[in-house]
Amino acid sequence: MDIDKTAYISETAYVNGDITIGRNSSVWPNATIRADSPIKIGRSTNIQDNVVLHSMGSERTEIGDRVSIGHSAVVHGCEIKDECLIGMGAVILNDAVVNKNCIIGAQALVLENQEIPPNSLVVGVPGKIVRELKEKDIKRIKQKASEYEELAQKYKNKE
């Protein structure tokens, strides 16, 4: 494990295996990160309560910078680029790629091998692109990441 000293990991999170967690990132209560093969989490990224990140075998999971992964989402053997918001309960399957500045709506399903173009809003099961993000949407993604970064530092300072 390679966890940056500025990262916040809740004492009830389960973090195990070949994991890299970047500067100012956070892993919240009851999240599970099980890296039977490499999982890399970038800077200022938040893995919220009850999220499951898993990779095994030849899979690799890469999460970029300033990504928010909402409560109870499942991310398995895929890539999420910088500045994305993954909604609560969303599922992203093996070999999917979510490109920069995307929002994956709550409960959406990104299928195996599906590639989501930059600046997309995806909703539904299976996930469909419903529109291109507006500037206000992209601002919201960045704002959410900043809010969690600040909150994590408050929790870390209590330790």
Low-confidence ranges of the chain (pLDDT < 50): none
Q: Report pLDDT digits (tens) over 96-113.
A: 999 999 999 999 999 999
In terms of residue numbers, what domain contains 56?
A: 2-158
At residue 44, the pLDDT reads 98
The answer to whether the predicted template modeling score (pTM) of the entire model surpasses 0.85 is yes
Q: What single-letter amino acid sits at 121? A: L
Number of domains, the chain: 1
CATH (domain of 17): 2.160.10.10
pLDDT at 157: 85
Q: Which two tokens stand for residue 6?
A: 């500025």
As to burial, measured by CB atoms within 10 angstroms (0-12 exposed, 13-18 middle, 19+ buried), residue 136 is exposed
